[in-house]
């Protein structure tokens, strides 16, 4: 069932501080150029004073501006992020507060499937928007990866960046909408990328020099890639099933910006030419759930997609999950 | 728009260890009987070795058993909890793994609005179920509050308990469904109940004796109550608007089990007689998002509701949010 929704505004916010790959090389005591060669990331942004709610609020203001709406038009705020600002309450409430909407009553909640949070939340909220429950929804991915990186694990730490993207969603009166969506989770890969601590199992009170690593991001990149690669072809078949489309009909593939090398292999596997495969990782790094919407933001900005185009949002996330949406933009 | 969904199975799991109020009194050096008098909680359950995914998986097995289904019938797993087992990945993936469904591909993600997570997730997933996207959904609230309590803050620490509840949801072919749902968030109350640390703002690496309190639950019960009480009447008007029902038509109110005293005042404010207002707090404490489904579980078990009854799920959560669902059970 197609859900008639439309992205009528998209905005982003990146931290003031730009971190170039030579700074990363020095940080991990690698030869100059090593991290860029390995990750494909030339620069990314790291927060200094910015919080996730601050970044999310600024992205929201920009998205709303583009949509030509005011906050009084918004009737739902969803945070779709793999990280949280604080354990309680949810990010969406903190963003509402940051926006000065403390007494607005606009409902706020979070959806989390790590790097796929934006895709999952977009899919979930498309049903109530199509049904008329919400008129204008703010969907925000605001991620701070930099505080949780393990710099002794070079493979993962050189990949990530911080930042936020927001979209305004409304019911479509044109052909714009979600044609198909699909998600598969294979928890055989649940521990291939994780932060073991920080929740109820290894509570922060257990933090000491022996447990410090439990509170940092740990990734087995090779394991994730192998598992994703194995399940991807059948996943895509199921995503395209019941549509009249095939991969060659897709005007632009917007993948999760996991790592430059993985994206390259996946692109070749999918037989998608470079010009129809959006890559922004060299300028932003992997921004967790904000990666896919940031690539969408750049695609819109760079006129790589126009209304009516078929866009494929596609990614993997910790879990391990694979998710995708075929969008008629 | 009514969403035709039906709860076809409900199951629970509580930790092996029962904690009676006299143990709490000793823990906080209060006179015998003090904590029970203050909180209305006679006993609650605290985990020893159990994890959130372990509890959630056991609740899921019980729910599925009641529904007469097997895991091969399930096509979506949602964790709706205010706490997480670990920072990454989401709880739902960890529950999938605990259930031995590592290679099932069943999509897994989390929805979080703290104590209202179950209500929010039930509302959200009702649209795709009604639309035929998912056939049988496992919705699980599994909460471990005990590790995050601040025992120097007696007002909050004496209230909470651990445990899990799961429901199996399917499309209804009868009148069962969600008649109305509504949520309002007032972030003027965002810091009235919170855990400031544990996320990207106060990362666990900052844990020391000075910051220890930032990683524990902090609550201004009076502030929450005042704000909820102020917004509740208009909230209920909006929840019942566009239905043909009023509070007197509701067969059973299932409130969040926040605290016995708050529940009593709210019940009187709503003019609901005691027999139509479900209270389980004396036997379980406040189980965060698991409270409302646990009260539903007990209501079903105790034959307090039957098919066709009008049930009101109603609660407040950190955020501050008020949420409700009018369910034709």
User: Over the stretch B19-52, which tens digit does the pLDDT of each residue have?
Assistant: 999 999 999 999 999 999 999 999 999 999 999 9
The last residue of one of the domains, among B174, B202, B217, is B174
Q: Within an 8 Å CB–CB cutoff, is residue A241 touching chain B?
A: no
Q: In chain A, how many domains are there?
A: 2
In the predicted structure, residue A291 carries a pLDDT above the cut 90:
yes
pLDDT of residue B1: 85
Please check whether residues B262 and B128 belong to one and the same domain: no
Residues of A in contact with B45 (CB under 8 A): none
Find the CB nearest B190 among A82, A89, A188.
Answer: A89
Percent pLDDT > 70 in chain B is 100
Please check whether residues B257 and B145 belong to one and the same domain: no
Per-residue pLDDT band at A67 (split at 50, 70, 90): very high
Percent pLDDT > 70 in chain A is 100
Which residue from B minimizes the CA distance to A194?
B88
Pairing relation of β-strands B163-171 and B5-13?
antiparallel
Query: Closest Cα to residue A288, out of A18, A45, A93?
Result: A45
The last residue of one of the domains, among B144, B174, B204, is B174
pLDDT of residue B110: 98
Residues of B in contact with A207 (CB under 8 A): 204-205, 207
Residues 6-45 of B with CB under 8 A from A: none
pLDDT of residue B272: 96
In the predicted structure, residue B108 carries a pLDDT above the cut 90:
yes
Please check whether residues B165 and B182 belong to one and the same domain: no
Please check whether residues B291 and B324 belong to one and the same domain: yes
Query: Closest Cα to residue A204, out of B90, B218, B217, B206?
Result: B206
Please check whether residues A163 and A183 belong to one and the same domain: no
Catalytic: A256? yes
Residues written for chain A: 329
Distances (CA, A) of A294 to A10, A41, B93, B176, B296: 9, 15, 25, 41, 41
Mean pLDDT of A1-26: 97
CATH for A127: 3.40.47.10
pLDDT of residue B67: 97
pLDDT of residue A322: 98
Report DSSP letters for B263-290, one per residue: HHHHHHHTT--GGGB---HHHH-B-GGG
Please check whether residues B200 and B245 belong to one and the same domain: yes
Please check whether residues A163 and A53 belong to one and the same domain: yes
Which residue from A minimizes the CA distance to B199?
A86
pLDDT tens digits for range A232-267: 999 999 999 999 999 999 999 999 999 999 999 999
Catalytically active residues of B, by annotation: 115, 256, 286
Find the CB nearest A200 among B147, B196, B320.
Answer: B147
| Average pLDDT along chain B | 97
Please check whether residues B225 and B190 belong to one and the same domain: yes
Calpha distance A315→A173 (Å, rounded): 28
- Grouping H, G, I as helix, E, B as strand and the rest as coil, residue A246 is coil
The last residue of one of the domains, among A117, A152, A174, is A174
The whole domain housing B229 covers 178-328
pLDDT of residue B207: 96
Helix then strand then coil, % of chain B, to nearest 5 = 40, 25, 35
Calpha distance A91→A89 (Å, rounded): 7
Catalytic: A108? no
CA A275 to chain B, closest CA, distance in angstroms equals 31
Q: Is the peptide bond before B157 cis (omega within 30 degrees of 0)?
A: no
pLDDT of residue B113: 97
Residues of B in contact with A82 (CB under 8 A): 88
In the predicted structure, residue A1 carries a pLDDT above the cut 90:
no
Please check whether residues B153 and B39 belong to one and the same domain: yes
Please check whether residues B82 and B107 belong to one and the same domain: yes
CB B123 within 8 A of CB B325: yes
Per-residue pLDDT band at B18 (split at 50, 70, 90): very high
Residues of A in contact with B201 (CB under 8 A): 51-52, 85-86
pLDDT tens digits for range B165-220: 999 999 999 999 999 999 999 999 999 999 999 999 999 999 999 999 999 999 99
Please check whether residues A187 and A302 belong to one and the same domain: yes
Query: Closest Cα to residue B78, out of B41, B129, B33, B28?
Result: B129
pLDDT of residue A274: 96
Residues 141-200 of A with CB under 8 A from B: 144, 147-148, 183-188, 190, 193-200
Find the CB nearest A109 among B102, B120, B207.
Answer: B120
Please check whether residues B141 and B72 belong to one and the same domain: yes
Find the CB nearest B96 among A114, A147, A187.
Answer: A187
Calpha distance A98→B294 (Å, rounded): 34
Residues of B in contact with A213 (CB under 8 A): none
């Amino acid at each position: 069932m197609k859900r008639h929704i439309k992205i009528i505004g998209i905005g982003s916010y990146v931290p003031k501080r730009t971190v170039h790959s030579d700074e990363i090389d020095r940080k991990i005591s690698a030869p100059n150029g090593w991290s860029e060669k390995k990750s494909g990331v030339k620069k990314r942004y790291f927060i200094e004073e910015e919080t996730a709610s601050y970044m999310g609020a600024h992205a929201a203001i920009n998205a709303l501006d583009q949509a030509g709406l005011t906050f009084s038009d918004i009737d739902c705020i969803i945070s779709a992020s793999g990280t949280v600002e604080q354990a309680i309450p949810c990010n969406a409430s903190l963003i509402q507060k940051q926006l000065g909407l403390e007494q607005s009553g606009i409902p706020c909640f979070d959806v989390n499937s790590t790097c796929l949070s934006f895709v999952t939340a977009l899919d979930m909220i498309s049903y109530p928007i199509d049904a008329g429950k919400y008129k204008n929804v703010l969907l925000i991915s605001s991620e701070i990866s930099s505080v949780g990186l393990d710099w002794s694990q070079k493979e993962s730490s050189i990949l990530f960046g911080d930042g936020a993207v927001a979209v305004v969603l409304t019911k479509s009166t044109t052909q714009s909408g979600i044609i198909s969506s699909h998600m598969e989770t294979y928890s055989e890969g649940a521990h291939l990328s994780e932060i073991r601590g920080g929740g109820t199992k290894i509570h922060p009170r257990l933090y000491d020099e022996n447990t410090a690593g439990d509170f940092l991001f740990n990734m087995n990149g090779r394991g994730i890639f192998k598992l994703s690669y194995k399940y991807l072809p059948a996943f895509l078949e199921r995503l395209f099933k019941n549509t009249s489309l095939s991969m060659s009909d897709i005007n632009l593939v917007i993948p999760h910006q996991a790592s430059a090398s993985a994206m390259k292999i996946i692109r070749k596997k999918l037989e998608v030419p470079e010009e129809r495969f959006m890559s922004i990782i060299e300028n932003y790094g992997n921004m967790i759930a904000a990666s896919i919407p940031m690539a969408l933001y750049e695609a819109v900005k760079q006129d790589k997609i126009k209304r009516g185009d078929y866009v494929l949002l596609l990614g993997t996330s910790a879990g391990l999950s694979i998710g995708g949406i075929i969008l008629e933009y």
